[in-house]
Amino acid sequence: MGFIPMACVDGGFSGKHQFEERIWKEVKKGYCHFQNGDIGIAKISPCFENLKSTIFQNLPNNYGAGTTELVILRPLNIHAKFYLYLFKSQWYISEGTKYFKGVVGQQRVHKGIFTDLQIPLPPLAEQYRIVTEIERWFALIDQIEQGKADLQTAVKQTKSKILDLAIHGKLVPQDPNDEPAIELLKRINPDFTPCDNGHYTQLPDGWTVCRLEQIVDYEQPTAYIVNSTAYDDSYSTPVLTAGKSFIIGYTNEDTGIYSNLPCIIFDDFTTDSKLVDFPFKVKSSAMKILKIHKEIEIDYVAMFMSITRLVGNTHKRYWISEYSKLEIPLPPKAEQKRIVHAIHDIFAQLDTIM
């Protein structure tokens, strides 16, 4: 027969369930029992609020058993799906929480929600019409959500491809009047020696390849102890936190603010790199501040790092010493500016589409 633990009941509005196959003697005691067509509703929190309810169907031999945290209802002369959707409605969930009993973390709805709460009862034919309309709208919403997911994937892939074209000299046209990048690098360091172009053999004229450490200064920031990491818009100075992609507030004295901007923040614990153009503080010493030479477009370097990934260990820890050896294809400074402008323009259009 079919055995259904709570994990086999889907949350949300799908109303689906799976089952495991068990023999009767294993489940005849200590479990609730039901048959095809019955409605099962989770009575324990948070499963109740997560809409874990279902109509049992396709059970082996027509019968099943399951967790005692399910309340079993058998429809009589009503459309089961109509009441399944009613049990998933915000109104019913709100009413049900009023019947909670037990301690926090082990609260369950009291049986009164099934015996005392008055619920609407439209004519049977209207119940069927209501279910048909609900499922028509659900199908449309599913199409919209899938379309949104497909669009998000397409936009993400498009941005990645645009960045890839940019660092290979294929996004904007070259201008033979631009000063070659190697001259730029020799101004930064008269002893500059170009890297082997093994990975970038098709770069346009005027481009060269260098290591990040040849155009970047690294700084190990001083970490500040923060008593609370809760975000608050009233905090005056943002704090960047290792391993996370959001900003939290900081309320203590204004010493230690990094304001020599912009710069790139690199996080040892993830593959994240962020271009920062506002004053900030740092909570974790695992973060590194990358200051780009003033002759180099910082946005171009940030874009390069955003698509660069190193092969790390299972803990995903990436050391700045590894990144410092990364080879970056470098266009002339004027083309760097054209690339950055083009990417900002295209990304803005893609974001508008989203």
Tens of pLDDT, residues 299-309 = 999 888 877 65
Q: Identity (one letter) of the amino acid at 55?
A: I
Q: What is the residue-averaged pLDDT of the chain? A: 83
List, for residues 2-35, the tens digit of each pLDDT value: 999 999 999 999 999 999 999 999 999 999 999 9
Crossing angle (nearest 10°) for helices 333-353 and 298-306? 60
Predicted pLDDT at 278: 79
In whole angstroms, give the CA distance from residue 318 to residue 81.
Answer: 52
Distance (Å, rounded) from C-alpha 226 to C-alpha 236? 14
Identify the pLDDT of residue 199.
63
Q: What is the pLDDT of residue 245?
A: 46
Q: Which two tokens stand for residue 296?
A: 């180099």
Token pair 């990417």 in the structure block, residue: 343
pLDDT in tens, 135-156: 999 999 999 999 989 999 999 8
Q: Which residues contact 273 (CB under 8 A, 6 or more apart)?
A: 264, 265, 266, 267, 290, 302, 305, 306
Q: How confident is the model at residue 178 (pLDDT cuts 50, 70, 90)?
A: very high
DSSP state of 167: T
Instruction: Give yes or no for residue 349 having a pLDDT over 90.
Output: yes
Q: What is the pLDDT of residue 34?
A: 96
Per DSSP bridges, beta strands 70-73 and 263-267 are unpaired
Give mean pLDDT, residues 349-353: 90
3-state secondary structure of 263: strand
Count Cβ atoms below 10 Å from residue 343 Cβ, excluding itself. 20
CA proximity to 266, closest of 345, 225, 213:
213
252, burial (CB in 10 Å: exposed 0-12, middle 13-18, buried 19+): middle
User: Rounded to two decimals, what is the model's pTM?
Assistant: 0.62
- Is 211's pLDDT higher than 70? yes
Helix axes 80-87, 124-166, angle to 10 degrees: 60
Q: Decide if pLDDT at 129 tops 90.
A: yes
One-letter amino acid identity for 300?
Answer: Y
Residue 316 has pLDDT above 90, yes or no: no
More confident residue, 323 or 182: 182
Rg (CA), the chain: 30
**CA pair distance 291, 302, nearest whole angstrom:** 11
Residue 1: exposed, middle, or buried by beta-carbon count in 10 A (0-12, 13-18, 19+)? buried
| pLDDT digits 0-9 by tens, 234-253 | 556 777 766 654 555 544 45
